[in-house]
């Protein structure tokens, strides 16, 4: 230690205030000063803190121990001023000068003891000891001067002020004690009730007037109304605190209480009673039981869900999984808890999984289609959705992985049927109508390539020949949700018109909606029907030109008259006219004309 350097002593005091508090308390107890001082350990700690602060300031301000002089003004000395202030405080509390000087001697001794055990060199120890001695001398001179200047009238006034202050303090703490909703009972060393607050009096005796137990005539209550063996054992033991639960009968009926015992042993040993506090926990227990049932129900629900459920922290580490994860993937629960969720994904997909998990944790996506991997290496195709939530007051992510093995199998079967069918088939989005897949029959019949179709709509391709029908089909889908066997005209890529029998059905794959369109080509049938209609038309036109006679017609072999349906004989011209649309014109055939000419020849 340098000649003008007290830094080691400053450090020693700063690091040992707790030891100093214990040391002065030790002296105060063995010399019986605690009978007249605070019963709280914290008060002694604060006294050491204040004293050490003053001594440290003096150590920094002086190069040498502060000696005494006949002309020193102790009212201007920080160390002496501290002594004067402390003297005023203790005098107002009824402490005599002799008692205060005696106690200060043991404060001085505590600091001297600290220096003695520090291991300083002899010269340094002597120098530090002298500094402490002179500092305490100055404090003692300061408060002695102050005490000597104090008259009896002023002393009486200070005592009156102190009495008022103590009364106010007592009333304040009594109000707090009486207002506390927790029943508190103070037991003396004989386990008898010394005092109790209003909540306890109301519970034990049915007293409904606050303060009546304190200000009333009854100031002794006898023993507790219950025989509690744990209280007796607590008095006989050395524990400072104990808590247990017990059913007790009170003026309000039987209820379950949490009983807390706390020993009221102060540093002076003047009072060693016990504070007994009662907390009615009947409703709390019911709530806890309901909560446990709820947790049990939640756990049962959690573990009976067929989907794979994961609870992850914000770094992607597994906090909890349901039984489906354990049973389906073959892991033991302890093998998963605390591990990163990558452990249940195939190793060759870890890079993809890391990026997907990062996107999920940062809110850029909620879905993951990377399969889960069992202990044996079997892959389980899943679609995983991740949402934010809270678990045990922690920010977490809930991962729900749905096994889509059956869906994948169905998709494979659908795909094979879809592409192998000779019927024109197209799969498009429900809202936009964008083609996402078409089969070979669709491409071959309409003459498009796949690249020309995928991602476009029927309007883009202009394949529905009638625009009005296109709008009507849209309205029908919106109204009925489907179309069945509706005949439409389709336009192929080269402009040829084809006839199709169209059906439209909605198709839902998980959360996505699609439209499946099937078309049967009936162009050949339509052409055949048109040819048939043409022939029928031509025949009708031919029939329109002639009426035919059928059956046997009775005719005279000589005159060629015909007998009608009524039995009369008619000229052949009349009969044919009546039974057909034919009309006769008369003339002569060549033979008759020759005969007639011969007849009229001169």
| Domains, the chain, with CATH or none | 7-150 (1.10.490.10), 181-285 (3.30.450.20), 309-403 (3.30.450.20), 407-526 (3.30.450.20), 549-602 (no CATH)
Both tokens of 401, joined, read 């992985």
pLDDT of residue 409: 65
pLDDT of residue 236: 87
Helix extents (H) in 180-281 = 198-205, 212-215, 229-236
CA pair distance 448, 588, nearest whole angstrom: 73
Which parts of the chain register pLDDT below 50? 2-3, 215-218, 546
Q: Global pTM? A: 0.41
Helix (H/G/I), strand (E/B), else coil: 165: helix
Instruction: Say which residues have a Cβ less than 8 Å from residue 306's Cβ, sequence separation at least 6.
Output: 324, 403
pLDDT of residue 198: 87
CA pair distance 579, 164, nearest whole angstrom: 148
Phi and psi at 293, nearest 5°, equal: -60, -40
- What is the SS3 assignment for 426-466? EEEECCCCCEEEECHHHHHHHCCCHHHHCCCCHHHHCCECC
Return left, alpha or beta for 87; rule: phi > 0 is left, psi -120 to 50 is alpha, else beta: alpha
- Per-residue pLDDT reduced to its tens digit, 519-547: 877 777 777 777 777 777 776 765 555 45
Q: Which of 477, 492, 428, 490 is nearest to 456 (CA)?
A: 428
pLDDT of residue 215: 47
CA pair distance 470, 446, nearest whole angstrom: 17
- What is the SS3 assignment for 39-97? CCHHHHHHHHHHHHHHHHHHHHHCCCCCCCCCCCCHHHCHHHHHHHHHHHHHHHCCCCH
354, 290 Cβ separation under 8 angstroms: no
CA pair distance 311, 250, nearest whole angstrom: 47
**DSSP label at residue 330:** -
404, 389 Cβ separation under 8 angstroms: no
Angle in degrees, CA 154, 160, 162, rounded to 5 = 100
pLDDT of residue 602: 55
Both tokens of 446, joined, read 């309409």
Q: How many CA atoms lie within 13 A of 236 on its CB side?
A: 5
Q: How many CA atoms lie within 13 A of 40 on its CB side?
A: 5
Q: What residues does 340 pair with on adjacent strands?
A: 317
Both tokens of 79, joined, read 């160390």
Residue 471's H or E segment, with its range, is helix 467-480
- Per-residue pLDDT reduced to its tens digit, 359-394: 876 777 777 888 998 988 888 888 888 888 888 888
């Amino acid at each position: 230690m340098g000649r003008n350097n007290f830094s080691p002593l400053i450090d020693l005091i700063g690091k040992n205030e707790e030891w100093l508090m214990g040391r002065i308390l030790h002296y105060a107890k063995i010399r019986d000063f605690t009978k007249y001082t605070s019963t709280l350990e914290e008060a002694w700690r604060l006294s050491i803190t204040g004293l050490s602060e003053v001594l440290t300031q003096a150590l920094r301000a002086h190069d040498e121990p502060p000696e005494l002089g006949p002309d020193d003004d102790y009212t201007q000395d920080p160390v002496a001023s501290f002594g004067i202030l402390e003297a005023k405080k203790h005098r107002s509390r009824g402490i005599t000068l002799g008692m205060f000087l005696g106690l200060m001697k043991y404060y001085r001794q505590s600091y001297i003891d600290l220096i003695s055990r520090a291991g300083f060199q002899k010269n340094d120890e002597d120098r530090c000891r002298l500094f402490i001695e002179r500092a305490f001398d100055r404090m003692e001179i300061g408060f002695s001067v102050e005490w000597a200047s104090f008259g009896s009238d002023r002393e009486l006034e200070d005592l009156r002020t102190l009495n008022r202050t103590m009364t106010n303090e007592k009333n304040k703490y009594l109000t707090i004690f009486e207002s506390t909703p927790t029943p508190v009972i103070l037991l003396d060393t004989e386990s008898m009730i010394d005092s109790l607050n209003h909540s306890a009096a109301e519970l034990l005796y049915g007293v409904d007037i606050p303060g009546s137990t304190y200000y009333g005539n009854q100031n002794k209550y006898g023993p507790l109304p219950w025989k509690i063996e744990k209280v007796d054992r607590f008095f006989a033991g050395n524990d400072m605190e104990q808590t247990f639960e017990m059913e007790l009968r009170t003026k309000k009926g039987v209820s379950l209480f949490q009983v807390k015992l706390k020993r009221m042993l102060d540093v002076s040993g003047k009072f060693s009673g016990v504070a007994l506090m009662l907390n009615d926990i009947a409703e709390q227990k019911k709530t806890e039981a309901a909560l446990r049932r709820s947790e049990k129900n939640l756990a049962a629900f959690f573990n009976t869900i067929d989907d794979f459920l994961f609870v992850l922290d914000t770094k992607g580490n597994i906090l909890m999984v349901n039984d489906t994860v354990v049973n389906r993937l073959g892991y033991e629960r302890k093998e998963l808890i605390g591990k990163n969720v990558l452990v249940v994904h195939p190793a060759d997909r870890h890079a993809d999984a890391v990026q997907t998990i990062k996107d999920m944790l940062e809110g850029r996506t909620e879905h993951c289609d990377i399969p889960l991997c069992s202990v044996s290496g079997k892959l389980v195709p899943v679609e995983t959705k991740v949402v934010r939530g809270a678990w045990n007051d922690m920010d977490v992510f809930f991962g729900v992985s749905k096994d889509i093995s059956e869906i994948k199998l169905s998709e494979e079967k659908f795909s094979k049927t879809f592409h192998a069918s000779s019927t024109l088939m197209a799969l498009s989005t429900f809202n936009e109508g964008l083609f996402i897949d078409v089969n070979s029959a669709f491409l071959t019949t309409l003459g498009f390539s796949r690249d020309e179709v995928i991602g476009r709509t029927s309007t883009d391709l202009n394949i529905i020949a009638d625009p009005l029908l296109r709008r009507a089909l849209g309205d029908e889908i919106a109204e009925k949700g489907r179309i069945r066997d509706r005949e439409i005209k389709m336009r192929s890529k080269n402009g040829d018109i084809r006839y199709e029998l169209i059906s439209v059905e909605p198709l839902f794959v998980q959360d996505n909606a699609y439209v499946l369109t099937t078309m049967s080509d009936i162009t050949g049938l339509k052409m055949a029907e048109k040819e048939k209609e043409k022939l029928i038309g031509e025949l009708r036109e031919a029939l329109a030109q002639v009426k035919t006679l059928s059956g046997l017609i009775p005719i005279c072999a000589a005159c060629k008259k015909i007998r009608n349906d009524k039995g009369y004989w008619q000229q052949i011209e009349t009969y044919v006219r009546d039974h057909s649309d034919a009309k006769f014109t008369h003339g002569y055939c060549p033979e008759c004309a020759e005969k007639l000419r011969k007849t009229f020849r001169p």
